């Protein structure tokens, strides 16, 4: 986790990237060790929704939830950012597509397919924790809907406004 002027910057924490290149008089790095378990290890049978914000480790977490996703078909809300892991906005949706999920995002009240994400203008952010800079809009929240239900679910979301 990067530490800016002595304050931990949780919003910049990442399991996938190293901030060593940004260490300075203002920026330090604090590391944590945590135990890991795959979601599939819990053998859950009634999961309806998953919110995932793993600061760059979304792909690995989803791989560890593969059987749960196939068995339960939950709706997914995902925060996926190129600033945490280059290529993640391609890899995560591709993996979910292979599992039968359609991925969308909402922008200005309009629901859009992941194919409409312009990474150059919608996913531009500073990699340096001492410089907060991001594109406007900055799209990082995505929704993955089981393909067999996505048309109806998306229509419900569109009607809800």
pLDDT tens for 61-110 read 999 999 999 999 999 999 999 988 999 999 999 999 999 999 999 999 99
- For position 68, what pLDDT does the model report? 98
Which structural domain range is residue 41 located in? 35-160
In a domain, 22, yes or no: no
Is 73 within the bounds of a domain?
yes
Read off the CATH number of the domain in which 63 is found.
3.40.190
Whether the CB-CB separation of 114 and 71 falls below 8 Å is answered with: no
Distance (Å, whole) CA 24 – CA 130: 10
Number of domains forming the structure of the chain? 1
Give 52-120 as a 3 state SS string: ECCCCCHHHHHHCCHHHHHHHCCEEEEECCCCCCCCHHHHHHHHHHHCCEEEEEEECCEEEEHHHCCHH
Secondary structure of residue 125 in the 3-state scheme:
strand
pLDDT tens readout for residues 138-159:
999 999 999 999 999 999 999 9
Structure pTM? 0.84
Q: Which of helix, strand or coil describes residue 136?
A: coil
């Amino acid at each position: 986790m990067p530490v800016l002027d002595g304050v931990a910057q949780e919003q910049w924490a990442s399991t996938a990237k190293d901030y060593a290149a940004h260490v300075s008089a203002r920026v330090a790095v604090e590391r944590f060790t945590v135990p890991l378990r795959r979601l599939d290890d819990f053998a859950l049978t009634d999961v309806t929704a998953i919110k995932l914000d793993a600061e760059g480790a979304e792909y690995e977490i989803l791989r560890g939830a593969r059987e749960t996703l196939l068995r339960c078909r939950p709706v997914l809300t995902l925060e996926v950012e190129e600033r945490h892991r280059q290529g993640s906005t391609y890899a995560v949706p591709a993996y979910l597509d292979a599992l039968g999920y359609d991925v969308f995002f909402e922008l200005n009240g309009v629901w859009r397919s992941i194919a409409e994400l312009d990474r150059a203008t919608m996913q531009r952010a500073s990699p340096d924790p001492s410089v907060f800079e991001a594109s406007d809009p900055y799209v990082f929240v995505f929704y993955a809907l089981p393909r067999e239900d996505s048309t109806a679910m998306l229509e419900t979301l569109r009607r809800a406004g």
